[in-house]
A and B are shown apart, each in its own frame.
Chain A
Amino acid sequence: MKHVFLSLFFIGAPLLSQADDTLTSVLKRLEKNMAAVTAVSTEFVQEKEMAVLKRTLTIRGHVHMAGDKFSWIVTAPVSYRMVIEGKKMRQWDGESGKIQAVNLDKNPAFATALSQMRRWFEGDYAAFQPDFTLTLIQSDPVILTFSPIDGKPVAAYLKKITLTFRPDERYIDSIRIDEAGGDSTFMRFENTVINGEIDDEAWQVRP
């Protein structure tokens, strides 16, 4: 019996080590690939399933990122734009036609939510390691899950985040967020242009 355990240990140890190496090497590869990304323009389709909504909310729009600029443009079901430059966030909606400016330093909770969202897009996954357990679900295409570590505050509202990468691993193909309360958000990126020219209009909060 003792020999069986020893054998399992000696056989299992390299496998475990290999699994860990695979996750580490995948993360390194992803971060390397995404580090080369200096600008992104992509279309997205977001589906939100929430208890407060009667039916699935499908949101369509564009995301642009370059340097410390980030813009989130919703074209359907209504017009909405949000532009972040450094610590200033401005948002506009077609219904009211008003622009609202927010200093992210004065809204730590909102700033944290946004900075986390940007990290998913920018590939800075090492920053999540204090709070999440990372699991490599699939290598080709890469699928990673981030599960909050028990006891961490994030576990109170988040259940799991699943990232699926494009086959060329230069950017995310889709992201799924499962919240602790049962709500979920699925977001798919389409027609992604990496390191291309971004029109100035993308940074205008009012179209």
Chain B
Amino acid sequence: MNEHGAQAKSSEKGVNRLFSRCLIMATRHRRGLLIGIAILIPLGFLGLTRIRLENNIEAMLPADRDVIRGIQFLREAGLSDKIALSLTPARPDTELSSLFSDLDRLADELAELPLVDSVTVRPPVENILRDITEFCRYSPQLTAITDASDVSKRVTAEAVNQAVNSMFNQLLSPGGGFALPFFQNDPLGFSTARLRALRNLADAGGYNIHMDQGYLLSEDGDHALMILTSPVPITAGTQAKALLDSLDKVLKTHGSAFSTRVVSGHRHAVSNEDIIRRDVKRACLIAGAGFFLLFVIGWRDPRAGIIFLIPFLAVLLAINATASLLGTLSYFILGMAGVVTGISIDYGIHVYVAQKQGGSAAVTRIFKPVTVGALTTVSVFASFFFSSVAGYAELAWFSILSILLSLLFSLLIIPQVVTPGGLPFRNTLKSRGPFGQKSRRRVLTVWAICLLTGLALIPGLKLDTDIRSFDGSDQAVFDDEAAFQAIWSDAAPPAFLVVEGKEFDQAFTEYARISREAEDLLAAGELNTLASVWRPRAERIANLKNWRRFWTPERRDSLRDHLAAASQTFGFADDAFAPFLTWLDSPPTVENPDSAGFPPALAPFKTLLERFVVQTDEKVMFLAYFPDTAENVDRLASVCGKTDDTCFLVSRNMLALSMSRAIQSEIVKLSIIAMVLIIALLVALLRRPSHVVLASIPVVTALICMFGMLRLCGVSLNAASIIAGMVVVGLSIDYGVFMVYERRSEDDGALFTAVTLSALTTVTGSGALLFAAHPVMRAIAVALSSGVAVGYFAAVLVIPALIDSQLFKRSGHD
């Protein structure tokens, strides 16, 4: 033994002595310790009932600036908080028009629900004309009038005659009289451009809706659309469920009249929550049954149940502690409870096996490797604290607390409960002796082939950045959305250009400027912007000034004469155009905005403008829509890039790119941190470089093979796989450390037995999630099960084979 080895042995003895004293103290206070534990269990359950659980996908996304901004915008804009109902007659032989009264009744009943703010079944189309007519009065503020402008061309005798003729023709058409007030106010069409722009804004939603009797109907006329708004955010699980239940109740009472599809973000939240709940329940049952079979029936020692009880208690307390620390707990973290139980049960197994084998003395001997194993796993989870994903920090707290509590309880409680002697599986799970040259070569060859195959497969591994991969909603939710899309829309969802600011007019001025630049970069009509309809205050003041300057008394008199002549020709009354002439003389002034900064002229269009203006307590955001293509996003990114962070783009394509970039950098960052922490710990605890290298072999093998396996199974790498990868690292290094100790300490096979049982329990824990319906859970399960299995085999086969090889013998492994 060299100097290094002697120092390590002496330090190990010191640590073991310290633990031995703790163990003696625990034995002295055995009764108090067990009573304390017995009290903690009901308290833990009581605490569970008070925890606030959240189902927030954002918690699982990297804190990349573009990703956060995009997701935050989608949330603040409330674009996904609306509920759309697509209704069709329940009986195929019934005409939808015969059910219009029923539609109104249904809308009235839905509007009465406490969690519903408003129901739009029939926008008041009759008021549209009045509102549009009123809006047109603001044209002088919105038109840059000059002597050479379009307005000048419309005031000639011929143009006026043509305009009045057109108005007369309108009277000849059936129902044409409805537009008369509009023509009386603006017979020369000064506001035509603004009206066209207003109409384009209405089309910006990308939905194919046609109106019948004011109802919103699908193109085939077989479906009616109803839009509900609710104060319930889509992430508020319990309230979202209450909202959907109340909707369902009302819709059922109208089931004989309508067959309804409900499309809403709330359904995703509720469905995800239900599925995760079911998954957790199922995983707990499967894992519980597996552990029961393994320890109670397989070992035939009822006291082996303590091994299961300890991680369960540790997880229970860790859930409570994490929730108290952070205020809330995510459902995803709760779903990880099974995995963490599978990890933290390992320490109990080691202590149990040691206690059975040689009582307190044996437990003291394994104190250091078990603690090293636990600390390396803790270091892996500790690296999550450096992650920008908020959910990972939550996972780190929960996992570290679970592991440390489980380690502590295992080391101190199991020796108090389990009596030494009669180690089960002794003969079946026996460590093999030193490798012969032939077997060694065979093991190392298979290992090399696995590594090379894994390495060859890794480059083809796909990174899944679609946010929807986190969505495990029931298929019915997706089916309803697909059917809804097929009925109501034939266009892909647009991308958004967003300009934000603290104050309405200041932000709108910037928005109008950016919109103008953006319009030049896109194809004609591709940008749908509010700036095409409304202009900033300063510009409106200037326009109005020019308007007044343009309408000289001579021009007004000339126009009055032309109108009088045309009226005579077509039989209009002398005062038919009085509203128009009054308007020319005194157009509306630039009014003061309302308390929110909103111009009163736009108030009647608030419903329409909701899609373009989002106001929160702190800021106002203006939206423009454009087709979501990579070229458009590239072009407009250059416009936003020039601003002082006030403009940004939100596109499905760009969000995917940003996510991809963020996840990649997250993987690299966390991997480096975890590796540094693990190596530092191993060097500090194992001391010898050869031991550090050997203990790391299962990790490297497990990761390479896990990624290769994911590629082979056609599973993409996503943020959830990072968690699984990290857990695989933590566990595999445990196996490495234990097997190095096993060989070094001339252990009689107890460590091998414990490592094998540990791997089995972890695979049982993570394997239980293979039956999960939620994609995140399932992805974690596939990665974890395959990684842990490979890590285990690398530890129990490759490490001994390498130790027995000439290479390590020469390097002084003893």
Contact = CB atoms under 8 A, between A and B. Distances in A.
A35 B126 CA distance: 28
Nearest to A185: B177
Contacts of B208: 105
A194 interface: no
A93 B125 contact: no
Interface in A122-178: 124, 126-131, 153-154, 156-157
A50 interface: yes
Given A59-B172, A95-B169, A105 B179 contact: no
Interface residues of A, number: 48
B169 A109 contact: no
Q: Tell me whether chain B's interface is mostly helix, strand or loop, or mixed.
A: helix
Contact of A115 (B101, B184, B212, B571): B212
A113 B177 CA distance: 9
B572 A53 contact: yes
Given A52-B573, A53-B573, A82 B174 contact: yes
A59 B101 CA distance: 35
Contact of A154 (B104, B126, B173, B176): B126
- Size range of the interface on B? 35 or more
B174 A117 contact: yes
B169 A104 contact: no
A72 B174 contact: yes
Contact of B125 (A50, A108, A124, A179): A108
B211 interface: yes
Interface string B177-219: 1111000100000000000000100010000111111100000
A106 B203 contact: yes
A54 B571 contact: yes
Interface string A35-68: 0000000000000101111110101000000000
Contacts, number: 118
Contacts of A50: 171, 177, 180
A203 interface: no
A185 to B, nearest CB: 7
B97 interface: yes
A153 B100 contact: no
Nearest to B209: A105
A191 interface: no
A113 B103 CA distance: 20
A110 B571 CA distance: 24
A93 B213 contact: no
Contacts of B101: 129-130
Contacts of B165: 93, 95-96
A204 interface: no
A161 to B, nearest CB: 12
Contacts of A130: 100-101, 103-104, 213
A96 B179 contact: no
B115 interface: no
Q: Tell me whether chain A's interface is mostly helix, strand or loop, or mixed.
A: mixed
Nearest to B574: A54
A87 interface: yes
A78 interface: yes
B806 interface: no
B172 A74 contact: yes
B178 A55 contact: no
A52 B576 contact: yes
B126 A157 contact: yes
A129 B172 CA distance: 28
Contacts of A156: 126-127, 130
Contacts of A117: 174-175
B128 A127 contact: no
Interface in A77-92: 78, 80, 82, 87, 91
B211 A108 contact: yes
Nearest to B127: A153
Nearest to B105: A130
A160 B576 CA distance: 24
B571 A80 contact: no
Contacts of B124: 153
B439 interface: no
Of the candidates A50, A91, A109, the one having the most CB atoms from chain B within 10 angstroms of its own CB is A109
Nearest to B168: A78
A56 to B, nearest CB: 10
B178 A80 contact: no
A116 B571 contact: no
Nearest to A31: B98
Interface of B: 97-98, 100-101, 103-104, 124-130, 162, 165-166, 168-169, 171-180, 184, 199, 203, 208-214, 571-574, 576
10 contacts: A54-B571, A57-B171, A82-B173, A105-B209, A108-B128, A109-B125, A110-B175, A111-B212, A156-B127, A183-B177
Given A109-B125, A112-B214, A124-B97, 15 more contacts: A50-B180, A51-B573, A52-B184, A53-B171, A54-B573, A59-B172, A93-B169, A95-B169, A106-B203, A111-B212, A113-B176, A115-B211, A127-B213, A156-B127, A157-B178
Interface of A: 48, 50-55, 57, 59, 72, 74, 78, 80, 82, 87, 91, 93, 95-96, 104-117, 119, 124, 126-131, 153-154, 156-157, 179, 183, 185
Report the 8 A-B pairs with minimum CB-CB distance, sorted nearest first. A113-B175, A153-B126, A52-B576, A80-B172, A108-B211, A127-B97, A117-B175, A117-B174
